[in-house]
Structure 1
């Protein structure tokens, strides 16, 4: 619910201190006994309404309320303009330091009878929980993080002569803002295979994120210090240095650190392994060709709740923000 309305007498005092005394927001907040954010919101509304001090002669409290909060005195049939929440979500992901408050300010300038900031935030949070895919619940910055992990369920390769099958590993990566997925099969989870998979994921994305977030496998993190600082595997450390990417490993017993990639792994298990379960593959190359085709289809498919594909989000958010691949050494 929106916050309680500040009394008109207090709003008048705020306007007087701002326009007549030229006090800062902090000083006004101390003087009237309310929070700085509340003072800022009132001054923003005053700016939109083109109010100054002193107020126009004859303006009553009711008149002031109508100017600052026009929706409160309009007929019951009047509707507040609803923001395009998907665009709000994209803007937050596209611009790394953009606060939600700035988007509300732009919204209220175009729609003076729009929602107050507190209710605007509340509506956005509800939209995000109701309409965004699980991978979007946390607003992640474009081009910032790549999450990587292995699937517990594994595909198999059949020996062309003996017909014996053997399980191989399934590597999964997902970019933070778009959830754009990459997957491939490898022989093992050892450092040489893990580093190869990470490098090929960068080539697949056509760029390098700023941070890579691996799970706690030994090919990435040898151990954690007492302050949760990771000690990297030497080969993985060399790879990170070559691509100039930071490593922020998921901390032990902190499942929220890797929620996105775990949901992506589950998606790959259901959509890719499920689709390929009755097919027989005789080489790693043949298996990866089929996996890559399924990855393409998965990324191009509209997500159930947003009806926007990961491919579209990648093109709009992550792709422009990725750093270029380094030249070959």
Structure 2
């Protein structure tokens, strides 16, 4: 009789003595649940940090799918409510990203700053990034049109920050009003545009987090490349964003 058969018999007669041991480093899901309550922290981010720690320690890490399923089971067993819940295709969050990049004028050698428009689909974390010459209204609207083309359609709603290219000046309290051009764009595409509430940064946490992460990845990827025009820069960005999305996308389990 083989050792495996012995283990099987032992499991039949003494199930408490032979417990399944996963082949990866354990995850403290009570700590995960606590961290997910913090602004900008997502299940995907926490799993990436967990995987990096496992690689550093030379141990195996569970897959993101396993991590998500186990966290869902943990919250169900504890009767907790998961921190983040998004539905596929429901919304896109848009933002002018803090990091900027540049291209070089070939005749003068002058480096010209370009500003990054970033968008994310919260459920899948698939992102779109485009460089613009400025952060004015025309660039803002043009980036939206290109974003819809990139995603192959429009969501139910777009969530944006309270920036001047999106909303009119508003009182400290009261309704936030979209500017006329942005409102017209939403009506044309039959999209509900919803600015984040005043002093409610959690509404834009995914957009800022994804924008910062994606923009940083794009800038790092292109840091040694020189582009003679804004169009050439955007061609490089499209390639870098595709690689970023292909690398990071996984089918999103529920509640993460």
TM over 0.5, yes or no?
yes
C-alpha distance in 2 between matches for 1:244 and 1:225: 27
In the alignment, is the contact (CA less than 8 A) between 1:215 and 1:250 conserved in 2? Answer: yes
Partner of residue 233, structure 1: 179
Indicate how the Cα distance of structure 1 residues 139 and 163 shifts in structure 2: closer, same or farther if over 3 A, else same: same
Evaluate the alpha carbon distance shift between residue 76 and residue 225 of structure 1 in structure 2; reply closer, same or farther with a 3 A threshold: farther
Partner of 2:113: 167
- Per-residue deviation at 1:278? 2.0
Higher share in helix: 1
How many residue pairs are counted as aligned between the two chains? 198
3-state DSSP class of the match of 1:153?
strand
Report what 1:157 is aligned to: 103
Instruction: List runs of 5+ in structure 1 lacking aligned partners.
Output: 1-73, 91-99, 105-114, 126-136, 303-308, 318-329
The structure with higher relative contact order (CA 8 Å, sep 6+) is 2
1:78–1:245 CA distance, 2 compared to 1 (3 A): farther
**In the alignment, is the contact (CA less than 8 A) between 1:228 and 1:251 conserved in 2?**
no
Contact map agreement 1:223 1:232 (CA 8 A) in 2: no
In 2, the alpha carbon distance for the partners of 1:214 and 1:229 equals 15
User: What is the rounded CA distance, in whole Å, between the counterparts of 2:174 and 2:19 in structure 1?
Assistant: 50
Note if 1:119 corresponds to 2:77. Answer: yes
- What SS does the aligned partner of 1:152 have? strand
d(CA) in 2 for partners of 1:273 and 1:168?
11
- 4+ residue runs of structure 1 moved beyond 3 angstroms? 74-80, 84-90, 224-228
| 1:40-73 deviation per Cα after TM superposition (whole angstroms, max 9, x unaligned) | xxxxxxxxxxxxxxxxxxxxxxxxxxxxxxxxxx
1:58 maps to none
TM-score under structure 1 normalisation? 0.53
Residue aligned with 1:224, SS: coil
Larger of the two Rg values belongs to structure: 1
Tell me what 2:16 maps to: 76
RMSD: 3.1
TM-score, normalising length: structure 2: 0.68
